[in-house]
């Protein structure tokens, strides 16, 4: 089994401030972590983030685990990214591509 080295320092600090262990986050106490709001992404913003990350549509699709067609449709405005994909775009925008690779 592959182990992941996750940087939980942000959440550890928030959890410490809220007097709760980070490994015991529930729906009741998650609001104390002050999670960033995930916004909507326009087709232009989606293209900008992809190009800024120096990815082709096919490469971004692979990173997001979606079809190349889905990325193309988002960029054309025919469809909008789902909640999970919006979260991934948010991570790329705030932290860079390295958090997903």
Q: Are 57 and 71 in contact (CB under 8 A)?
A: yes
What is the tally of structural domains in the chain?
Answer: 2
Same structural domain, 58 and 93: yes
| Contacting residues for 43 by C-beta, under 8 A, at least 6 apart | 74, 75, 76, 77
Same structural domain, 57 and 30: no
Range(s) of the domain holding residue 82: 43-99
Window from 27-36, 65-74, 79-88 with minimum mean pLDDT: 27-36
In a domain, 20, yes or no: yes
Same structural domain, 68 and 84: yes
Same structural domain, 30 and 64: no
Same structural domain, 30 and 47: no
Per the model's pLDDT, the better-predicted residue between 6 and 68 turns out to be 68
pLDDT value of position 49: 95
DSSP letters of 20-77? S-TT---TTTGGGG-PPPPPP--HHHHHHHHHHTT--HHHHHHHHTS-HHHHHHHHHT
Same structural domain, 31 and 49: no
* pTM of the complete model: 0.68
């Amino acid at each position: 089994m592959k182990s992941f080295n996750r940087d939980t320092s942000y959440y550890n600090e928030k959890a410490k401030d809220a007097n709760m262990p980070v490994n015991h986050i529930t729906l009741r106490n998650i609001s104390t972590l002050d999670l960033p709001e995930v916004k909507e992404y326009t087709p232009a913003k989606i293209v900008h983030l992809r190009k800024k990350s120096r990815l082709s549509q096919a490469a971004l699709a692979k990173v997001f685990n979606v079809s190349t067609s889905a990325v193309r449709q988002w960029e054309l405005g025919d469809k909008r990214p789902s909640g999970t994909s919006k979260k991934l775009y948010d991570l790329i925008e705030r932290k860079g591509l390295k958090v997903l690779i």
